[in-house]
Structure 1
Amino acid sequence: MSWAGKILRVNLTTGEVKSEPLNMEWARAYLGSRGLATKYLTSEIDPKVDPLSTENKIIWSTGPLTGTMASTGGRYTVVTKGPLTGAIACSNSGGYWGAELKMAGWDMVIFEGASPRPVFLYIEDDKVELRDAAHLWGKSVWETEGTLKKELQDPLVRVSCIGKAGEQQVLFAAVVNDLHRAAGRSGVGAVMGAKNLKAIAVRGTQGVGNIADPKEFMKVTFEKKKVLADNAVTGQGLPAYGTQVLMNVINEVGALPTRNHRDSQFEGAKDISAEAMAVPRKTDGKPHLVTNQACFGCTIACGRISKIDEKHFSVENKPQYWGASGGLEYEAAWALGAANGVNDLEVLQYANLLCNEEGMDPISFGATVGAVMELYEMGVLTKEQLGIEAPFGSARALAYFAEITARGEGFGKEIGQGSKRLTAKYGHPDLTMSVKGQEFPAYDARGIQGMGLAYATSNRGACHLRGYTVASEVLGIPVKTDPLTADGKPELVKAFQDATAVFDSAGICIFTSFAWTLSDVQPQVAAACGAEFTMDNLNTIGERIWNMERDFNNQAGFTAQDDMLPKRLLTEGAKSGPAKGLTSKLGEMLPKYYEARGWDANGQLKPETRTRLGL
């Protein structure tokens, strides 16, 4: 029934690897990927465990549509307790790795304990081995993948691994696959590093069987691919411009956080936009963007492949960065660019390459640099401490910080702790633009009110992928709402959060939701998994997953006080644009959101909510 029906359990402490049947009762209640892996994790660890201790576990998980012919069915998630936040961490990635694990016959891999020495896991269908990774330790993501493909004599093996950032437990270290696709947020790579786990190399030749109704599945997936192709965003905008199409759009609506959220519009946005990536450079006459790229089974192809200017100061003596490689997505371009006041497209690409190469989340990295630059301009941090002059707008400082953070050198070690710890250490905790310790992505909560509530209540800390109300508030998908008002936002945020949990857990990309609603996903899930997956059932599953994550966080020690935005967004009005003078109306929205969720005033699940959702 579209699940492989078995999971791998790997005890890194003892070296034991064993197969277990998938808990099908849980699969029906939590679907797969994000939901199912979180159910396993929360059932097996103490919510108060230290994320970097041997008692924490980390899970790689696919969904029932992963590896199938459903469009974008290549997603997988990495679920653990996150070191950046201390909350549930669930980080999603595309590329080809997820589909490969499913085609090897596995729904998920659970790692427990910690290895006494560096290891990697090799999966070839039913053959599974833990192998020595001493020769891989210290290597970058790119070197690790290349070495393993050569060593295993298989160019088609897929690798999910960490670079130096994960080894050194940078708290926003990512897990990277296919060179530049990443389970990027919340520090999942640091947990991997703490366990001495360098990589998972997988080769699957079994395909995905067990589709409940193959004829219906073929028919409905074909129909839904046409919906994506005919949509202006998924059929035209994203293939042509990628997520970077948003840079000028969000700037114009006055919601592009700039210089650590001091401003909400960036005068240099046009220089680092999708349009700028597509036009020839003045220096060499070649465009930054080479082509677009798709993940497994994807009919959207929003990925960017870019080429840096070889004469740019950041790479002038570094030919290893001259080739075409993973290009800028909107969130990375914002975090490395507008968040720091930097409008040099080439340096953004260079910093982004380092994040891919060594496995770092560019959002948390860039946003932390924004806090560093503000502390520098205030005179709190000095050139002597940082190793460089670091005012807002300094491209050279950005490049330097990317290098020393990736390598764990000098002040890079402090940046690697994230902005919450860094700003607290230097006496200005209000300057971290984060929720639950995770840095904001690229939308100002004053100019897009629903996103402020989505950030504050996100179970994994500030996040745009847990309730992307930008779709409704800015783009009018599926209905247009006013970004400057709090009216109706609690209900809107809840609806987006619950639906997103289903998309993630099915094993498909959230970008399909620009064209699809849950009513487009439901017939695909039903044809793959069985008729029991009705609209009502999927809505309940989404809500169940959200509340399970919330319940774990509450048990870990989070309270209603943690559903909070930085003081700057609550007290300082936006300086320009449509939201000029506005602050976030979080205080107005939060009680209504709790009520819509069935939580008490302390943000805890009410007994009747727990009963209704079977938690």
Structure 2
Amino acid sequence: MAWTGKILRVDLTAGSCKTEDLNMEWARDYIGQRGLATKYFVEEVDPHVDPLAAENKIIWATGPLTGTMASTGGRYSVITKGALTGAIACSNSGGYFGAELKMAGWDMIIFEGKSPTPVYLNIVDDKAELLGAAWLWGKSVWETEPAIKARHQDPQIRVSSIGRAGETGCLYAAVVNDLHRAAGRSGVGTVMGSKNLKAIAVRGTLGVGNIRDPKAFFAAAAAAKKVLADNAVTGQGLPTYGTQVLMNVINEIGAMPTRNHRDVQFEGAKDISAEAMHEPRKTDGKKNLVANQACFGCTIACGRISKIDETHYTVQNRPEYWGASGGLEYEAAWALGSANGVNDLEALTYANFLCNEDGMDPISFGATVGAVMELYEMGVLTKEQVGIEANFGNARALTYFAEITARGEGFGKEIGLGSKRLTEKYGHPELSMSVKGQEFPAYDSRGIQGMGLAYATSNRGACHLRGYTVASEVLGIPVKTDPLVTEGKPELVKAFQDATAVFDSAGICIFTSFAWTLADVQPQLHAACDESYTMENLATIGERIWNMERDFNNRAGFTSKDDTLPPRLLTEPAKVGPATGLVNGLDKMLPEYYAARGWTSDGQLTEETRVRLHL
């Protein structure tokens, strides 16, 4: 079986590390990573806990396919009650940390309590100890990771850490590994910081050798890799352009949220697109994009490595930012760019570097800046309050806000609250483009109707990775549906949500789902883990995970009233593009979705659904 069968439980209050056997019954019912860790979490944590209280727990979890030869098998997730949302939080990251943790012999690490002083966890295979981190507190991710490697004299250590944003209480702080891969959403890094936990350092030399049927697994993994290679998205589009391939596509169909969702197309999209990253700059003849990068075991390589123009105002005479690092992906380029009307590619890259450097979610940061700029243009906020002229399109305001938010200084502390709390404070809650307190990703739901329902019902707040109907509504994967109609979308959203739960729990990247269906995942799980993983069983497991998360949120106090969208998307029609005249038809879709889920009319699980899913 591809699980290691071991959990590390760390009591930060007592300073102890203990080994536990994995609950194998739960492992079979919830697979791993997102599903299994959430099962542990909901069994152990009071749904009403304050996310920043010592009683909250935070879990690092791998999947059974993490660290194996399955393509993209380098994923891990961080599970907790989100600081930004107060809802169940599960944030997924790539890079190499997840595989290293698995190769050290661990399926999960469960942190509980709060350390009285800053600490980091050091793991070398089956040995784990908490070490003092006062010398690391106040350092960025970019300083922390190399410092730990130097202290232990091992350049192959993998580090998962927080920067200053997680220390100073930015509510959407991220957990960053490998310098620019991140468990980015919902404030998981904020929870980590609240526990005085600075980092986890892992060195694993044991490998992953406990595959149930190695011959069948190798064959299944090889066949699945061929499916990825032969697919237009995973074999061509993502390797060539990364996720930024979507910038011009989404803009053209009139679903590009612009200037805090006031508009659905951005006239500067081409300037911050994948194509622009490939073009030589007029200033120095060099490209923004330096290279592709792949995470552990990935055959897609959608990651971008970029370099900022050294003459640009953001980095002039600042050689510490002249090196190449993690470049823009679509969501970050949108949030830092279109959401604020900014079309300066170098400014966006710099702001993205800062989000990586100090561990901030660029989606929530950029979307919150969009709300700030709208409040500024309305006259609600002034230059004296925010520290700079902050009209839409002002690149210098964007980069200034990134600097002060990363450091937790001045008005940056308020931007670090997220758009929901900030707009409520200044009397305009309707200007927060969020669900359950989490800001929208890069798709306007007037132009892609299914995404509105996916946002409204997402268990972790507005999210594209919990039900990416863009694949069907825009790209025609696995079947083409009309993005402008509501018919059939409740069933489509449910299907995507349930399938995504399986992908996330297996330990593989959700981007494989552009090419793979559960029929490609099932043979790999069946051969690696357990003969009970059939197509029917996997579909049920995905549904079980989704309902478990929903039930936790309901018990935490969320109701059907939280399954909604901001008034702008429900009452202000799109002005241009194919969706001209449309608002999102959530009122039509939501009752049908509840029925499809087997919930009551007010979004609660029925007893019949609980029994059917063994909840």
Fold agreement, TM-score > 0.5: yes
1:106-125 aligned within 5 A: 106-125=106-125
1:293 aligns with 2:293: yes
Amino acid of the structure 2 residue aligned with 1:195: K
SS at match of 2:538: helix
Amino acid of the structure 2 residue aligned with 1:290: V
TM-aligned CA deviation for residue 575 of structure 1: 1.0
TM-aligned CA deviation for residue 209 of structure 1: 1.6
CA-to-aligned-CA distance 1:296-347 (integer Å, 9 cap, x gap):
0000000000010000001112111111110000000000000000000000
Amino acid of the structure 1 residue aligned with 2:471: A
SS at match of 1:91: strand
SS at match of 2:609: helix
In the alignment, the residues of structure 1 paired with residue 45 and residue 471 of structure 2 have an alpha-carbon distance, to the nearest angstrom, of: 35
TM-aligned CA deviation for residue 237 of structure 1: 0.5
Amino acid of the structure 2 residue aligned with 1:578: P
Residue in 2 aligned with 1:30?
30
1:336 aligns with 2:336: yes
1:141-160 aligned within 5 A: 141-160=141-160
SS at match of 1:71: coil
Amino acid of the structure 2 residue aligned with 1:80: T
1:244 aligns with 2:273: no
Residue in 1 aligned with 2:327?
327
TM-aligned CA deviation for residue 16 of structure 1: 1.1
SS at match of 1:453: helix
In the alignment, the residues of structure 1 paired with residue 402 and residue 279 of structure 2 have an alpha-carbon distance, to the nearest angstrom, of: 26
TM-aligned CA deviation for residue 516 of structure 1: 0.3
In the alignment, the residues of structure 2 paired with residue 340 and residue 132 of structure 1 have an alpha-carbon distance, to the nearest angstrom, of: 41
TM-aligned CA deviation for residue 531 of structure 1: 1.4
Identity of aligned residues (%): 80
In the alignment, the residues of structure 1 paired with residue 22 and residue 521 of structure 2 have an alpha-carbon distance, to the nearest angstrom, of: 23
Amino acid of the structure 2 residue aligned with 1:181: R
Residue in 2 aligned with 1:86?
86
TM-aligned CA deviation for residue 117 of structure 1: 0.1
SS at match of 1:223: helix
TM-aligned CA deviation for residue 602 of structure 1: 1.0
CA-to-aligned-CA distance 1:376-429 (integer Å, 9 cap, x gap):
000000000000000000000000000000000000000000000000000000
Residue in 2 aligned with 1:465?
465
Residue in 1 aligned with 2:536?
536
TM-aligned CA deviation for residue 193 of structure 1: 0.4
1:257 aligns with 2:235: no
Residue in 2 aligned with 1:454?
454
Amino acid of the structure 1 residue aligned with 2:224: K
TM-aligned CA deviation for residue 210 of structure 1: 1.3
In the alignment, the residues of structure 2 paired with residue 156 and residue 229 of structure 1 have an alpha-carbon distance, to the nearest angstrom, of: 29
SS at match of 1:551: helix
Amino acid of the structure 1 residue aligned with 2:198: K
Residue in 1 aligned with 2:416?
416
4+ aligned runs moved over 2 Å, structure 1: none
Task: Give 5+ residue unaligned stretches, structure 1.
Answer: none
SS at match of 1:237: helix
SS at match of 1:553: helix
CA-to-aligned-CA distance 1:246-291 (integer Å, 9 cap, x gap):
0000000100000000000000000000000001000100011001
SS at match of 1:138: coil
Task: Indicate the larger mover: 563-572 or 523-532.
Answer: 523-532
CA-to-aligned-CA distance 1:175-231 (integer Å, 9 cap, x gap):
000000000000000000000000000000000021110000011101110110111
Amino acid of the structure 1 residue aligned with 2:213: D
CA-to-aligned-CA distance 1:543-582 (integer Å, 9 cap, x gap):
0000000000000000000000000000000010000110
Residue in 1 aligned with 2:476?
476
Residue in 2 aligned with 1:592?
592
In the alignment, the residues of structure 2 paired with residue 419 and residue 429 of structure 1 have an alpha-carbon distance, to the nearest angstrom, of: 8
1:61-460 aligned within 5 A: 61-460=61-460
Amino acid of the structure 1 residue aligned with 2:325: S
CA-to-aligned-CA distance 1:127-173 (integer Å, 9 cap, x gap):
11100000000000010000001011100000000000001111000
SS at match of 2:291: strand
Residue in 1 aligned with 2:551?
551
| Equivalent pairs, count | 615
In the alignment, the residues of structure 2 paired with residue 257 and residue 407 of structure 1 have an alpha-carbon distance, to the nearest angstrom, of: 28
CA-to-aligned-CA distance 1:461-506 (integer Å, 9 cap, x gap):
0000000000000000000000000000000000000000000000
In the alignment, the residues of structure 2 paired with residue 390 and residue 314 of structure 1 have an alpha-carbon distance, to the nearest angstrom, of: 17
SS at match of 2:574: coil
In the alignment, the residues of structure 1 paired with residue 126 and residue 469 of structure 2 have an alpha-carbon distance, to the nearest angstrom, of: 42
In the alignment, the residues of structure 2 paired with residue 376 and residue 317 of structure 1 have an alpha-carbon distance, to the nearest angstrom, of: 31
In the alignment, the residues of structure 2 paired with residue 445 and residue 93 of structure 1 have an alpha-carbon distance, to the nearest angstrom, of: 26
Normalised to the residue count of structure 1, the TM-score between the two structures is 1.00
Residue in 1 aligned with 2:57?
57
In the alignment, the residues of structure 1 paired with residue 407 and residue 531 of structure 2 have an alpha-carbon distance, to the nearest angstrom, of: 51
Amino acid of the structure 2 residue aligned with 1:64: P
Residue in 1 aligned with 2:10?
10
TM-aligned CA deviation for residue 530 of structure 1: 1.8
Normalised to the residue count of structure 2, the TM-score between the two structures is 1.00
SS at match of 2:374: helix
Residue in 1 aligned with 2:509?
509
Amino acid of the structure 2 residue aligned with 1:225: K
Amino acid of the structure 2 residue aligned with 1:426: Y
SS at match of 1:191: helix
Amino acid of the structure 1 residue aligned with 2:484: L
SS at match of 2:445: coil
Amino acid of the structure 2 residue aligned with 1:24: M
In the alignment, the residues of structure 2 paired with residue 26 and residue 64 of structure 1 have an alpha-carbon distance, to the nearest angstrom, of: 13
In the alignment, the residues of structure 1 paired with residue 194 and residue 145 of structure 2 have an alpha-carbon distance, to the nearest angstrom, of: 20
